[in-house]
Amino acid sequence: MLALDKKDTTLFLIVLAAVIFAPFLLNPFPEGSELAQFNAGYPDLLQRFLIFGIFAIGFNILFGLTGYLSFGHAAFLGVGSYAGVWMMKLLTMNVVPAILMSIVFAGLFSLLVGYISLRRSGIYFSILTLAFAQMSFALAYSVLTPITNGETGLQLALDDPRVLGVSQVNGSIPPTNLFGLPMRESFELTMGGWVFTFNAGYYLCAVFMMVAFYLAIRIFRSPFGMMLRAVKSNQQRMNYTGLNSRPYTLAAFVISGMYAGLAGGLMVAMDPLAGAERMQWTASGEVVLMTILGGAGTLIGPVLGAGFIKYFENIFSKINDNILHQWFAFLPDGLEDALVFVIHPFIGKGWHLTLGIMFMLIVIFLPGGIVEGFRRLAQIGRRGTGGGKKSADAVPAPAE
Amino acid sequence: MSGLKNINRRTLLKSTAAVGAGLAMPTIFTSSASASYLNEPTGSTVTLGFNVPQTGPYADEGADELRAYELAVEHLNGGGDGGMMNTFSSKALKGNGILGKKIEYVTGDTQTKSDAARASAKSMIEKDGAIMITGGSSSGVAVAVQALCQEAGIIFMAGLTHSNDTTGKDKKANGFRHFFNSYMSGAALAPVLAANYGKDRKAYHLTADYNWGYTTEQAVRESTEGLGWETVETVKTPLASTDFSAYITPVLQSDADVLVLNHYGGNMVNSLTNAVQFGLRDKQVNGKNFEIIVPLYSRLMAKGAGENVKGIYGSTNWHWTLQDDGSKAFVKSFGEKYGFPPSQAAQTTYVQTLLYADACERAGSFNPCAVVEALEGDSSLPGVSSPSNKGYLFDGLGNGPTLYRAADHQCFKDVLVVKGKENPSSEFDLLEIVEITPVAQVWYEPDNPQFAGGALGTCNPGA
Amino acid sequence: MDAILLQILNGLDKGSAYALIALGLTLIFGTLGVVNFAHGALFMIGAFCAVVLSRLLTLSSVSIDPEKVDFLGKPLKVETPYVELWFGPEVGAAIINWSVPLAILFAIPIMALVGLAMERGLIKYFYKRPHADQILVTFGLAIVLQEVIKYFFGANPIPTPAPDAFSGSFDFGAMIGMDPNVIIYPYWRIVYFLFAIGIIGAVFSFLQFTTFGMVVRAGMADRETVGLLGINIDRRFTVMFALAAIVAGLAGVMYAPINSPNYHMGMDFLVLSFVVVVVGGMGSLPGAVVAGFLLGILESFASMAQVVAFLPGINQIIIYLVAIVILLTRPRGLMGRKGVMES
Amino acid sequence: MGILEVNDVNKRFGGLQALNSVTLDVEEGKVHAIIGPNGAGKSTLLNCFVGRLVPDTGTVMFNGQSLLGIKPHEINQTGVSRVFQTPEIFEEMTLIENVMIPAFAHRDGAFKVNFWGGVSEEGEVGDRAEAMLAQVDLADKKDTLAGSLSRGDKRRLELAMCLVQEPKLLLLDEPTAGMSRADTNNTIDLLKRIGEMGITKVVIEHDMHVVFSLAHKISVLAQGTVIAEGLPDEIKGDPRVQEAYLGGAHV
């Protein structure tokens, strides 16, 4: 199906189902219950899961396949965002031209940066991309303020021209929309104590995410993807085999830059503001974290990593001492206080600390990320059920 | 009953859903059809969103803002000693929450980044059902979140934001600022500077290279030039700078005799420290003592700069040594709860929470449009004759009589000119109030060129 | 002319910090082959050693002064540092005043311990792992370290002044026969520069003139061969890691009076230091030092109003621009060896 | 007139004259062995053929086209493949992928963005690669990772990678170095079989057994200079070679 083999088709369908039903799946706890704060099924976070998933999938096409570690991909996301907002300011609040221009501008910018940076490899390549991204950020923050609106971030105004649309509706800026369907439009479904929100913007992201994911599968399974893995494996042999590795890496760089641009475009389609911080090297570092956490070089890993970090950032960071005290209220007072005292540095505003520790643990013990974790668990499970049949199972592991 | 996170905005929806014998019939609503405004509180509680920097360079100010919010919620819900509720000129607040609903709150981390702040605010609106968002410690964040609240249909009560643009070109109908701004700093500082340093001065500006820096430089420059000063040079410094020596030394070579540091936070601490290290204050130029000025002071920043602030002039929104009843009451209840006096950020956020609650009470509704109307009021400041002198007048929250001006949602109140104290009696006693500049002196018209562009638009109830 | 001299002077102290951090990075990279993204955090920890010492020295006994009141109108608590009680007010005050230089002695054992703990506890497991993994795990460590510091010391900068004897500035121009009052330079910055030169000199002579250093240098050139000679390279490399940590830490201690320490100062310096290392040439110690000073001075020049007026924004991107140009024209940096980190 | 003509090639590394006026003429379809003591410049010479090094002076013509100043992948695309001294293979990929990559390079040229069609749909290339693996007796391991192979298997894999490109000229850098006698004999057999395909080969080899089993012509390199050239029997009897190189060696 879909011209994919059985394994990939299964994966695609699982992801598709997960994305369609995410508003259900991520809201497992009834409204008003103690655990409701762990619900992640609200539009903004759901959109972010998908948008950063797209970003990480694209980054993985470069890093996971070719092994080139870019520390500057956030710049492409930022350029895409700025292009998107400008389309909304100048042309129309319809998100289609904005998203298209985001991809185009990010692609052009990544072509320029990639063309120069890919003249070097290894850490030199990383430093070059880092330098470009930091320059973009510094300039966007200051000298380019007329284009980027500096620190505040580029946003819409009531007096924007919007030549194909309207500048304002009753004193308000019109919402971003897809041919008239506002991105913030939501349906709420109430079932017993549960409330599920289905948001138009989320499903637009979902469509783009599934297309992006499908395309990534095709790339991974194509001769082109094989060449990219060859770059990572042995670039020298590749060259002596008559393959020019530079255009391959450049193509991968531009494709991943366009993914980043798509992510940037979707971000402003959901929330029409583009801040310069999204270009900073720490933002590039974040997508690296996502890809590694999930599992670089695997299809689904980056999406899982993106979801993991965004969940942490948005849900885990909200836990505070009061909530802890509620949780441990059943304990004797002294013990409760002691426990809260011990946990306190790691929760709420200390979430960076927890994230840093978890990241280190994953790099140390699970270099293949979450995906490898699942694989190991599955192995343990298999061994547990069919311990005696080990020799029959001696088929070598697949390459991926 | 859960404490903080009992979310009731959807109770109406739940009650209309047919629930029987454990089986629920799905009922589908569009958000626009369900309520007359977004996140209408329908249960016994109302949720406010406190969006402050908990990580990043302004985390300490964010923590102080959060303390003030918690104190305000305590007071509004009838706990504690009531703080400034006792001195507030409006007596609509009853100590039973807002409109009889107990106040609950959610907190978020702005990270002092526009993106993160918007994400955090969106989650408060979408997930937690917050009816009002407040907080922040930088203008970029304030402008970004204010725009979001306008689009979403939520009231935004700004925290610490000093740029002219917040109530200038980026003003929004759903947003309100209690903090003073760059223009007011310039207008209050200039006469004091002229009185102390003379009218024949040559100023050199170092300006943080972002929005707030620009408006502050412009405000201070125009005010001081109006009194006869000359601006020799203005130089923009990167926001990420930690060492300003490369910018300080050219000052030595110019014939300037005053250095204005349009810096805030870590920038201010470092640039001031550098300037003092390079001996600027020991210098004589044009037969005058070389002077340094910091237009926007914060006590928390003054602490960071240590000894270097001594004798340096600046302005501040509020200071805990003020002797009016409101300030005294606030310092007392804050100090007793936390053990140290509140910062200006804490005072602003505390007052903003009270003002919001009061507006809801007076309007009799949480509807953002009703709240906007109540905050736009129908009174005027005594002593200022201007057609734009119209808004909501209140007193007893520090800084004397204060007007929330209807035209741009900017507060007008007395501005404090302060200087670093030579002999502090405690680690909190770092600034001394030089002059309380009366509000009439910092008044400006909404069409002042420094605030040109942008439009308030109309209130958005989000539904 | 004096403007140029002034900018060179200005570049020196920042260049010193870059050079010291880059030197440590290169030592670690050259000996252990590890790319240490947590090196900025070591610099930051050094600066906080100064903070901790000054806090320790000002630990105080509390007495109530009934005459005075605090801000809530209660009797004022008066704090007298123990050192003043023990050594008398004058000696005690002098000790407190000299806390930053004293922190050097305090920081050396602490940084050595931190370095040893890092190398034995974490880094040694990463010698055989790819550079990307090293970058990632040390990046994670850097996040953890800075969050821990933030938890204990807060987010705002903590002023840590130099001793009074070195506060203020002197007229460098007049000293070298130029017009007075033109080139003023703070005492502490010259101290910092001389200190950095001293450390750099010490590290180089250590490597040049001791047997230990010779073995390490040989190991940097060809690890396997030296290992074959039956010399325990690993233990020596552990010591080198501790040494690199001490260098970064001392750079931080002495930098505290120049910029008040805060938890993210490590990250601020890290990226730039990496650029410095790459510009100097991965694995080249003299390259790191030269590039550190060079970039510090260049950054200083780019900040001149005349330059910025001509090229707006150049002051913010100059270091990156230089890095790009150098990497494209001299792929191995100014003094790098061929083949290092290429594949 | 040979397929590969090397004329007066000089290469200097600092004070060392690595190649001193080397002239070679490799005939089409023949096996040309280059022998010489360690450090004689054999690998340096080979590096000059594939674009890894550029000679200071001299010319290297392949099929009438200069190989100097063009990039390794361009040289390969003209029909020159190389087996390295230490096998250069794609260790993290499967054997079949290892062979398919050069097969694609042969069919599609140096660069082609073919990201839509799946590898599995490339039946023709897959078949060719599989057939080639069968030729080197690795067909049964086609789905294992190349990195897990023994050294001998890795060499045969690399050979398959080169052969699948149907090169006009195959450069072999010590194809049996470090192999057991049995493996070496297998490799000789394999190379002989390839010989029947009519591919011109240049072989660098230490093992005289291999050299004299395979070579049609031998050049002897010592200190960067060709000191002798001729048929195997001539070389065996040449006293200069005996002196410079073979002295006492078991032949």
Asked if A356 has any chain C CB less than 8 Å from its own CB, the reply is yes
Asked if B19 has any chain A CB less than 8 Å from its own CB, the reply is yes
Q: Residue B19 pLDDT more than 80? A: no
CATH among 3.40.50.300, 3.40.50.2300, 3.40.50.1860, 3.30.365.10 for B183-316+417-442: 3.40.50.2300
Residue with the larger pLDDT of the pair B377 and A103 = A103
| Domains in chain C, number | 1
Q: Residue B11 pLDDT more than 50? A: no
User: C267 in a domain, yes or no?
Assistant: yes
Q: Are A345 and C149 in contact (CB under 8 A)?
A: no
Separation of alpha carbons D37 and D234, rounded Å: 18
Residues of chain B with CATH 3.40.50.2300: 45-180+321-408, 183-316+417-442
Q: Are B340 and B166 in contact (CB under 8 A)?
A: no
What is the predicted pLDDT for the residue at D140? 93
Give the residue-averaged pLDDT of D210-218.
88
What is the predicted pLDDT for the residue at A82? 97
What is the predicted pLDDT for the residue at A136? 94
Q: How confident is the model at residue A104 (pLDDT cuts 50, 70, 90)?
A: very high
Q: How many angstroms away from the CA of B289 is the closest CA of chain C?
A: 14
What are D26's two structure tokens? 């490799």
What is the predicted pLDDT for the residue at B226? 94
What residues are paired with D13 via a beta bridge?
D16
Interchain contact, B253 vs C182, CB within 8 Å: yes
Give the residue-averaged pLDDT of B397-416.
95
Which range has the worst mean pLDDT, A20-29, A190-199, B293-302, C176-185?
C176-185
What is the predicted pLDDT for the residue at D245? 62
Q: How confident is the model at residue A349 (pLDDT cuts 50, 70, 90)?
A: confident
Interchain contact, B235 vs C316, CB within 8 Å: no
User: C145 in a domain, yes or no?
Assistant: yes
Residue with the larger pLDDT of the pair A84 and B236 = A84
What is the predicted pLDDT for the residue at B4? 34
For C322, name the nearest residue in chain A, comparing CA atoms only. Answer: A131
Instruction: Determine the residue among B138, B233, B243 to mutate to test chain C binding: the one whose Cβ has the most chain C Cβ atoms within 10 Å.
Output: B243
Q: Measured between CB atoms, which of B31, B114, B211 is closest to A273?
A: B114
Q: How confident is the model at residue D29 (pLDDT cuts 50, 70, 90)?
A: confident
Q: What percent of chain B has pLDDT over 70?
A: 92
Q: How many CA atoms lie within 13 A of B143 on its CB side?
A: 28
Q: Residue B171 pLDDT more than 50? A: yes
Q: How confident is the model at residue B25 (pLDDT cuts 50, 70, 90)?
A: very low
CATH number assigned to the domain comprising residue C105: 1.10.3470
Residue with the larger pLDDT of the pair B129 and A260 = A260
The residues, any chain, with a CB within 8 Å of residue A366's CB and separated by 6 or more, are A372, A373, A376
User: What is the full per-residue pLDDT of chain C (343 aa) written as tens digits?
Assistant: 677 888 888 888 889 989 999 998 888 887 777 888 899 999 999 999 999 999 998 888 888 877 777 777 777 777 788 888 888 888 888 888 898 999 999 999 999 999 999 999 998 888 888 777 888 889 889 989 998 998 888 877 788 888 888 877 888 877 777 777 777 788 888 899 999 999 999 999 998 888 888 877 777 776 666 666 666 667 777 888 999 999 999 999 999 988 888 888 888 888 888 888 888 888 788 999 999 999 999 988 888 877 878 888 888 888 899 989 988 888 778 877 654 544 3
What is the predicted pLDDT for the residue at C343? 39
Q: Residue D197 pLDDT more than 80? A: no
B and D touching (3 or more beta-carbon pairs closer than 8 Å): no
DSSP state string for A111-125: HHHHHHHTTS-HHHH
What is the predicted pLDDT for the residue at B381? 93
Give the residue-averaged pLDDT of A19-30.
91
B and A touching (3 or more beta-carbon pairs closer than 8 Å): yes
Interchain contact, B109 vs A44, CB within 8 Å: no
Give the residue carrying structure tokens 């102290």.
C13
Q: Residue B31 pLDDT more than 60? A: no
The angle at the Cα of C262, spanning C260 to C267, to the nearest 5 degrees, equals 120
Q: How many angstroms away from the CA of B324 is the closest CA of chain A?
A: 34
Q: Which residues of C touch B237 (CB under 8 A)?
A: 303
What is the predicted pLDDT for the residue at C19? 92
Q: Are C188 and C166 in contact (CB under 8 A)?
A: yes
What is the predicted pLDDT for the residue at B35? 60
What is the predicted pLDDT for the residue at C107? 94
What is the predicted pLDDT for the residue at B244? 87
What is the predicted pLDDT for the residue at C224? 63
Q: Which residues of B touch A151 (CB under 8 A)?
A: 114, 138-140, 210-212, 239
D and A touching (3 or more beta-carbon pairs closer than 8 Å): yes
Q: Residue B17 pLDDT more than 50? A: no
Between the alpha carbon of residue A390 and those of residues A384, A386, A398, B31, C63, the distances in Å are 11, 7, 17, 56, 75
Mean of per-residue pLDDT scores for chain A: 88
The residues, any chain, with a CB within 8 Å of residue A394's CB and separated by 6 or more, are none
Asked if B406 has any chain A CB less than 8 Å from its own CB, the reply is no
Q: How many angstroms away from the CA of A205 is the closest CA of chain D?
A: 23
Q: Which domains does chain D have, with CATH numbers?
A: 1-79+167-251 (3.40.50.300), 94-166 (no CATH)
Q: Are B165 and B217 in contact (CB under 8 A)?
A: no
The residues, any chain, with a CB within 8 Å of residue C232's CB and separated by 6 or more, are none
DSSP state string for A317-380: GG--HHHHHHHGGGS-HHHHHHHHHHHGGGSGGGHHHHHHHHHHHHHHH-TTHHHHHHHHHHHH
Interchain contact, C316 vs A121, CB within 8 Å: no
Task: Give the tens place of pLDDT for each residue, A270-284.
Answer: 999 998 889 988 889
pTM: 0.90
User: C240 in a domain, yes or no?
Assistant: yes
Mean of per-residue pLDDT scores for chain B: 88
Task: Give the tens place of pLDDT for each residue, B138-164.
Answer: 898 999 999 999 989 999 999 999 999
Q: Is the dihedral of CA C335, C337, C339, C342 positive or negative?
A: negative
What is the predicted pLDDT for the residue at C10? 83
Q: What percent of chain B has pLDDT over 90?
A: 65
DSSP state string for B38-107: TT---SSEEEEEEEE--SSTTHHHHHHHHHHHHHHHHHHTT-TT-GGGGT-S-----SSSBTTBEEEEEE
Give the residue-averaged pLDDT of B167-196.
95
What is the predicted pLDDT for the residue at C269? 83
Q: How confident is the model at residue B20 (pLDDT cuts 50, 70, 90)?
A: very low
CATH among 3.50.50.60, 3.40.50.2300, 3.30.360.10, 3.40.50.300 for B45-180+321-408: 3.40.50.2300
Q: Which of B321, B334, B335 is nearest to B421 (CA)?
A: B321
Asked if B56 has any chain C CB less than 8 Å from its own CB, the reply is yes
Q: Residue B6 pLDDT more than 80? A: no
Q: How confident is the model at residue A393 (pLDDT cuts 50, 70, 90)?
A: very low
Separation of alpha carbons A178 and A201, rounded Å: 9
Give the residue carrying structure tokens 């004091």.
B192
Asked if C259 has any chain B CB less than 8 Å from its own CB, the reply is yes
Give the residue-averaged pLDDT of A303-317.
89
Task: Give the tens place of pLDDT for each residue, B311-353.
Answer: 999 999 999 999 999 999 999 999 999 989 999 999 999 999 9
Residues 49-88 of B with CB under 8 A from A: 54-55, 59
What are D82's two structure tokens? 């190389």
Asked if A182 has any chain C CB less than 8 Å from its own CB, the reply is no
Q: Are A68 and A306 in contact (CB under 8 A)?
A: no
What is the predicted pLDDT for the residue at C69? 74
What is the predicted pLDDT for the residue at A195? 85
Instruction: Determine the residue among A151, A199, A310, A313 to mutate to test chain B binding: the one whose Cβ has the most chain B Cβ atoms within 10 Å.
Output: A151
What is the predicted pLDDT for the residue at B463? 73
For C266, name the nearest residue in chain B, comparing CA atoms only. Answer: B242
Which range has the worst mean pLDDT, A131-145, A384-398, B377-391, C230-244?
A384-398
Q: Which residues of B touch C299 (CB under 8 A)?
A: 246
Q: What percent of chain A has pLDDT over 70?
A: 96
Boundaries of domain holding C261: 2-58+98-329
Domain boundaries, chain A: 41-279
Task: Give the tens place of pLDDT for each residue, A68-77.
Answer: 999 899 999 9
Q: How many angstroms away from the CA of C128 is the closest CA of chain A?
A: 12
